[in-house]
């Protein structure tokens, strides 16, 4: 029986034959290969958004809607307010793709002009809400203390006012017009955005990179602009995509009841109002097309907002 020392000496490195080993050739190219490409936060969010089929369907519809709102009237040989009473209530055909209304006006042309107004009102209302909400919520959350208390009490007062009642009162006082609608929709519409931004800022302002900026004497305005706001863009973008359809529906509703855009100007709400009597006589197309685009536009923005919320959530990032 061999001793322990003999076994060790038999398997020592000096006794191992060289043919037992084979040198691995160096591959300089393989050494530089990265197993997984480095993705930024926004690239990873876009990659996850692409996997959401419903959100991409909504995005595709909104892109097509914007393109048709710009070029749709150019494709039609009819003017938006071109009346032709002998041809009123013509069904959809090769001559009038969406048919004609009670005044013989081409519904196809008026639908895309209505899309211009609806998208303009929705985007402008959302941009104004975002701007005021970011400024108000950012200052309130960053300053804290007495400043935060005063600013939040003002928000609570505005939040307690009936939104629709305020909008209707302003339209009655100022008179119906496109600019009045935008002002009325944004008087209290920014409150929700301000509360979201404040909550995000309250959470992020205690992070190490913000405290480091403070220790170096960075101004508060620069900290809010460079450190806090970029890290709150996810919730802001999601809230913005949900604000646009709300403003579009509000404009259509106000125009429908006669407080928004006035006939003969084209608006989805005006077109729906003008077609109420036509439904009873079987002229369904006069209401179908504006109602369809109002409904599907709101649906597209909402599914896109849900998709962005999942894509921009850092907890779901792999």
Who has greater pLDDT, 120 or 224?
A: 120
Q: How far is CA 217 from CA 94, 212, 223, in A?
A: 69, 9, 10
Residue 77: Cβ-neighbour burial (10 angstroms; 0-12, 13-18, 19+): exposed
Model pLDDT for residues 262-271, shown as the tens digit of each residue: 777 788 888 8
Name the pLDDT band for 316 (thresholds 50, 70, 90): low
Cα separation of 186 and 124, whole Å?
9
Residue 50 CB partners (closer than 8 Å, separation 6+): 56
Model pLDDT for residues 137-180, shown as the tens digit of each residue: 888 888 888 888 999 999 888 888 887 788 888 888 887 778 88
Cα–Cα nearest to 247, from 183, 306, 304? 183
Residue 92 CB partners (closer than 8 Å, separation 6+): 98, 99, 285
Domains (ranges, CATH) in the chain? Answer: 65-316 (1.10.3720.10)
pTM, two decimals, is: 0.76
Name the pLDDT band for 5 (thresholds 50, 70, 90): low
| Contact yes or no for 100/107 (Cβ under 8 A) | yes
pLDDT over 90 (residue 255): no
Residue 72: predicted pLDDT: 84
Query: What's the rounded mean pLDDT across residues 201-220?
Result: 81
% the chain with pLDDT above 90: 8
Residue with tokens 């923005």: 301
């Amino acid at each position: 029986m061999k001793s322990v020392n003999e076994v060790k000496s038999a398997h020592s490195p000096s006794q191992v034959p060289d043919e037992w080993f084979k040198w691995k050739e160096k591959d300089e190219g393989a050494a530089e290969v990265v197993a997984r490409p480095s993705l930024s936060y926004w690239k990873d969010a876009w990659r996850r958004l692409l996997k959401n089929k419903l959100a991409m369907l909504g995005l595709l519809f909104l892109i097509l809607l914007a393109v048709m709102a710009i070029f749709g009237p150019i494709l039609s040989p009819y003017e938006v307010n071109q009346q032709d009473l002998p041809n009123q209530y013509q069904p959809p055909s090769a001559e009038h793709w969406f048919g004609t209304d009670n005044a013989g006006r081409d519904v196809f042309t008026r639908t895309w002009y209505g899309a211009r107004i609806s998208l303009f009102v929705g985007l402008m209302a959302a941009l104004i809400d975002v701007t005021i909400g970011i400024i108000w919520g950012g200052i309130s959350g960053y300053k804290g203390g007495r400043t935060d208390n005063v600013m939040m009490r003002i928000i609570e007062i505005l939040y307690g006012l009936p939104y629709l009642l305020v909008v209707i009162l302003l339209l009655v006082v100022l008179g119906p017009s496109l600019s009045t609608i935008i002002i009325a929709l944004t008087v209290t519409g920014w409150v929700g955005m301000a509360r979201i931004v404040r909550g995000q800022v309250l959470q992020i302002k205690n992070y190490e990179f913000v405290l480091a900026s403070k220790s170096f004497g960075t101004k508060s305005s620069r900290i809010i602009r460079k450190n806090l706001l970029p890290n709150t863009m996810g919730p802001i973008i999601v809230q913005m995509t949900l604000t646009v359809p709300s403003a579009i529906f509000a404009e259509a509703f106000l125009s429908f009841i006669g407080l928004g855009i006035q006939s003969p100007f084209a608006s989805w709400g005006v077109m729906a109002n003008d077609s109420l009597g036509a439904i009873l006589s079987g002229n369904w197309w006069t209401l179908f097309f504006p109602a369809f685009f109002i409904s599907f536009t709101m649906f597209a923005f909402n599914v896109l907002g849900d998709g962005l919320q999942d894509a921009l959530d850092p907890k779901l990032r792999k």
